[in-house]
Homo-oligomer: A and B are copies of this chain.
Amino acid sequence: MSTESKRTELGQLGEFGLIDHITANAQPKNPSTVKGVGDDAAVINPKGKRMVVTTDLMLEGIHFDLTYFPLKHLGYKAIVTNICDVYAMNAQPKQVTVSVGLSKRFCLEDVEELYSGIYLACDKYGVDLVGGDTTSSMTGLTISVTAIGEADDKLLCYRDGAKETDLICVTGNLGAAYMGLQLLEREKQVFMADPNAQPQLEGYDYLIQRILKPEARKDAIEMLAKASVKPTSMIDISDGLASELLHICKSSKVGCRIYLEKIPIDQETFRLSEEIQIDPLVAALNGGEDYELLFTVPIAMHKQVEDMGVSVIGHITSEDSGAALITPEGSEITIKAQGWK
């Protein structure tokens, strides 16, 4: 929420005034966007490509806490987390719609902050904002984003194509966003106990960035294309590695073996995990919000994926062998699903 003195009530603009205000700069840049904001629906010309569509709902108090989540970052993250799903199909995001529910707590300056982040992400990833809905809300902030992308039919990657002996690969590192969240939650508690306390976040810039300003792995999709590697299956890691592995295994009717010591974990994650006594592997397996890509490739592609700098963390096995983690000592631990309860 804006802490500056200026506060313009949304009621002064009304619904249509607000829409005009936030979409004034929404000029489509993609040739496939025939009609953006301003009609009953946006119009897209897919030009022979397949279209992919994905959507997410973000609710205040569930997905974000505005005590430490700046509105600009939230807008940015709302776009990024959606287009991650488009990249996970090996497709290119092209359009988004953004719906926002706003309670009376929020003023025009807050909405401008939120949309500055939305447009920043749209610009960075070359996506057009083509529609949405703005409405009042009884309680808090609601954000719903739908992302639309395109791909050639034969390039699309689903969850169901993993085959026995395929290598299991992960981009970047895992667990950092979860650790960043723990840090922010800890400092929130300190602040609530003593409003004069200064937050202790030094040395953990990367963890904070991972939770407050995640990026989508557009670069990894481009590297795959450049190396002519089409994954046999792919998914983005939003709910933690364990859950995503199980999605691929279930869809592809296969099992897997993951080597714990191969799971990529950042130094800051290790450092904070010691400080606050959380197992970094638990953060990687069940923490979520990493927005990295998990994919499988035929074993013959080993060199290509290693050259790309992704981590090969295990391999696909037969369905009846199940999904399991292998400890450095060689014992097996069955992988269990997560998700909210």
Distance between Cα atoms of A91 and B42 in the complex (Å) = 11
- Determine the residue in chain B with the shortest Cβ distance to A144: B144
Within 8 A of B (CB), among A277-334: none
Considering the complex, give the chain B residue whose CB is closest to the CB of A101: B59
Chain B residues lying within 8 Å of A16, measured Cβ to Cβ, are: 243, 337, 339
B residues less than 8 Å from A339 (CB atoms): 14-16
Q: Are B88 and A41 in contact (CB under 8 A)?
A: yes
Cα A99 to Cα B53 with chains together (Å): 13
Tell whether, in the assembled complex, residue A62 and residue B136 are in contact, meaning their CB atoms are under 8 Å apart.
yes
| In the bound complex, CA of A136 to CA of B48 (Å) | 38
Within 8 A of B (CB), among A25-52: 34-35, 38-46, 48, 50-52
Residues 147-187 of chain A, each 1 if its beta carbon lies under 8 Å from chain B, else 0: 11100010010111000000000000000000000000000
Q: A261 at interface (Cβ–Cβ under 8 A)? A: no
User: Known: A135-B63, A138-B59, A340-B15. Is A54-B34 also a contact (CB below 8 A)?
Assistant: no
Q: How many copies does the complex hold?
A: 2
List, in ascending order, chain B residues with CB within 8 A of A135's CB: 57, 59, 62-63, 340
0/1 interface trace, chain A 202-240, chain B, CB 8 Å (1 if under): 000000000000000000000000000000001110000
16 A-B pairs within 8 Å (CB atoms) are namely: A38-B251, A40-B235, A41-B85, A41-B149, A43-B52, A43-B156, A45-B51, A53-B146, A54-B97, A55-B132, A55-B133, A57-B100, A57-B144, A59-B137, A138-B140, A142-B142
Query: What residues of chain A have their CB less than 8 Å away from a CB belonging to chain B?
Result: 11, 14-16, 34-35, 38-46, 48, 50-57, 59-63, 85-86, 88-89, 91, 95, 97, 99-101, 130-133, 135-140, 142, 144, 146-149, 153, 156, 158-160, 234-236, 243, 251, 337, 339-341
